[in-house]
Amino acid sequence: MAASYRKADHGGGIGGLAAAVALSRFPDIEVSVFEAAKEFTEVGAGIGVWPRVWKLLAYLGLDDDLASISATKPTQDEVDTFIFRKADQPEGLDFYKLRSRGTLLRYHRPDVLQVLIDNLPAHCKTYFNRRLQTYTQDRAKGTVQLVFSDGSTETCNVLIGSDGIKSSVRRTMLTNKSEEAASKGKLEDAERFMQLIEPTWTGIVAYRALIPTQRLQDYKDAHPEMNIRIPQTNSTPIMYMGQHINVVVYPISSGKLINIGAFHAKPELAGTNFPGPWVETIPNDELLAAHDGWEPELQAILRCAYTPSRWAVHMAQPLESWVDGNVALLGDSAHAMSPQQASGAGQAIEDAYLLATLLGHRLTRIENINQVLNIYSDVRVPVATEVQHRSLVNGSYFGLQLEGLDSTREHDRLHEIGDAVVENWNWAWATTLDPSISEAVKRLEASQRPRAHL
Ligand SMILES: Cc1cc2nc3c(=O)[nH]c(=O)nc-3n(C[C@H](O)[C@H](O)[C@H](O)COP(=O)(O)OP(=O)(O)OC[C@H]3O[C@@H](n4cnc5c(N)ncnc54)[C@H](O)[C@@H]3O)c2cc1C
């Protein structure tokens, strides 16, 4: 059986709470979640969940609760998932139907967070208004000391840094690695670690908004001549596409709300500093002006949006390892990515499931936690890093960019973009995490096998 040890988890977003739920299944692990905010919150926007992630949520026993808050029911059948439509012109043109094996389930984020909160067992401790500033480690004792911004401290055996894209755990981890490299005279490595701390701007801004479906219905009734289609829970979501821009529209909250995500890319600005705040509420006029000349249906939908916001989409720079002693990164702190594969939170849930499987394994003890975390990192880093890359590639396809194709003129070849998207994205519905889990457990078991005496 696994030795009993105290684990601390911090940052209570989707990644941290998924980790807490997954770890709490092991009665000998004491889980504490330290959240900087005064309560758990999620941005009021939509989130998509692919079959690969759904399977893990089902393993965690969350499937019934999640199924009850979505009008779209999970299926393993082949289904229509998106209609791709060229829409940066007076009359839109459907050019591709993306089909996937299993549904992209669509939720209102706060509902998903609530399901995770509802499934935290009473023995999992949660603390609010606890902003982690830094940590120190006593490697001989296998303890991590957490230092919070109010000066308070806590001690644990494992720290999981699930504190999002501006992670203080990542900052401390890379600063430590830099100092260690410098102390060995490896000055280039020391410099490189420091440069990996900050996220980089992808050149993409995302406009996010919700629309009460009734509001769009009222607009449609007032403008019958426009033939606006109201997104329904049983209709296939439409992705409206134009040069370097795509707008995803789908219903959530059992059809009461419509989620809008409009992504605008300036690839030449990727890697530069975003000028201004990363998140800002904007007037609806800015949203409309950004889609000037697009087909009337999309403009009508955008007109009904309230309190839209603009997000500068940043990504975490890929790391070779997410581990420092008994500390590991998870979710956006490790691999924040552009949202164009609807997979950032999904990857956080994959991290959480695999890490919990290893920490809860009968062979895991306080003495080998670092080894266990390294197995987690070795197995997960290549997967999440590839998804980060694929997300950017999807973004480019969604913006109608495909090498050798002039999408402004060659409309009869637009289906090639759809085929490229399927090839780049089908891992999300055609593969599972199971092989990674088996591989990680096998590595743990091999690492603990007594060596044969020669
Ligand atoms: C426009 C957009 C659309 C997206 N769509 C999808 C999608 O459809 N599907 C999908 O899978 N992903 C999607 N994503 C990505 C997804 O939102 C993120 O990857 C995911 O929310 C990351 O979860 P996390 O728990 O790692 O981090 P976060 O959600 O950022 O949570 C971090 C938590 O840690 C807390 N915290 C921060 N600092 C500290 C500290 N110092 N001490 C203590 N607590 C701290 C924060 O308050 C927060 O509660 C999208 C992202 C964007 C921007």
Average pLDDT over residues 260-268: 97
Q: What is the pLDDT of residue 73?
A: 83
Quick check: 319 pLDDT over 60? yes
Given pLDDT bands bounded at 50, 70 and 90, which one contains residue 6? low
Probe residue for ligand 1, chosen from 41, 163, 347 as the CB with the greatest number of ligand atoms within 8 Å: 163
Question: How far is ligand 1, taken at its centre, from the CA of residue 344, in Å?
Answer: 8
- For the CA of 348, the closest atom of ligand 1 is 26
Ligand 1 atom 52: residue of nearest CA: 339
DSSP assignments along 232-275, one per residue = -TTSPPEEEEETTEEEEEEEEGGGTEEEEEEEEE-GGGTTSPPS
Q: What is the pLDDT of residue 427?
A: 98
Quick check: 3 pLDDT over 70? no
Q: Could you report the per-residue pLDDT of 22-70, keeping only the tens digit for each?
A: 999 999 999 999 999 999 988 878 899 999 999 999 999 999 999 988 8
Ligand 1 atom 7: residue of nearest CA: 342
Q: Could you report the per-residue pLDDT of 102-123, keeping only the tens digit for each?
A: 989 999 999 999 999 999 999 9
Ligand 1 atom 51: residue of nearest CA: 339
- For the CA of 11, the closest atom of ligand 1 is 34
Quick check: 387 pLDDT over 90? yes
Question: How far is ligand 1, taken at its centre, from the CA of residue 449, in Å?
Answer: 38
Average pLDDT over residues 152-168: 96
Question: How far is ligand 1, taken at its centre, from the CA of residue 42, in Å?
Answer: 8
Average pLDDT over residues 408-412: 96
Probe residue for ligand 1, chosen from 47, 70, 353 as the CB with the greatest number of ligand atoms within 8 Å: 47
Name residues contacting ligand 1 (CB within 6 A): 10-16, 34-37, 47-48, 131-132, 162-164, 168, 206, 208, 261, 311, 313, 331-332, 339, 342-346, 348
Q: H helices within 290-411, ranges in order?
A: 296-303, 332-335, 344-359, 369-398
Quick check: 453 pLDDT over 60? no
Residue percentage of the chain with pLDDT more than 70: 97
- For the CA of 345, the closest atom of ligand 1 is 11
The phi and psi torsions of 229 (rounded to 5 degrees) equal -90, 130
Residue 347 near residue 429, CB atoms below 8 Å: no
Q: Could you report the per-residue pLDDT of 205-241, keeping only the tens digit for each?
A: 999 999 999 999 999 999 999 989 999 988 999 999 9
Q: What is the pLDDT of residue 2?
A: 27
Question: How far is ligand 1, taken at its centre, from the CA of residue 150, in Å?
Answer: 23
Q: Could you report the per-residue pLDDT of 413-438, keeping only the tens digit for each?
A: 999 999 999 999 999 999 999 999 99
- Tokens for 244, please give them: 């370097």
Probe residue for ligand 1, chosen from 14, 314, 350 as the CB with the greatest number of ligand atoms within 8 Å: 14
Q: How far apart are CA 135 and CA 329, in angstroms?
A: 13
Residue 238 near residue 251, CB atoms below 8 Å: no
Q: What is the pLDDT of residue 42?
A: 81
Quick check: 167 pLDDT over 50? yes
- For the CA of 14, the closest atom of ligand 1 is 25
- For the CA of 48, the closest atom of ligand 1 is 8
Handedness of CA 97, 101, 107, 110 (dihedral sign): negative
Quick check: 454 pLDDT over 70? no
Question: How far is ligand 1, taken at its centre, from the CA of residue 109, in Å?
Answer: 10
Given pLDDT bands bounded at 50, 70 and 90, which one contains residue 315? very high
The overall average pLDDT reported for the chain is 94
Question: How far is ligand 1, taken at its centre, from the CA of residue 442, in Å?
Answer: 30
- Tokens for 136, please give them: 């120190």
- For the CA of 18, the closest atom of ligand 1 is 25
Question: How far is ligand 1, taken at its centre, from the CA of residue 14, in Å?
Answer: 7
Ligand 1 atom 21: residue of nearest CA: 345
Probe residue for ligand 1, chosen from 127, 274, 332 as the CB with the greatest number of ligand atoms within 8 Å: 332
Q: How far apart are CA 58 and CA 70, in angstroms?
A: 15
Question: How far is ligand 1, taken at its centre, from the CA of residue 446, in Å?
Answer: 34
- For the CA of 206, the closest atom of ligand 1 is 1
DSSP letter for 408, please: T
Q: How far apart are CA 40 and CA 35, in angstroms?
A: 7
Quick check: 291 pLDDT over 80? yes
Quick check: 444 pLDDT over 90? yes
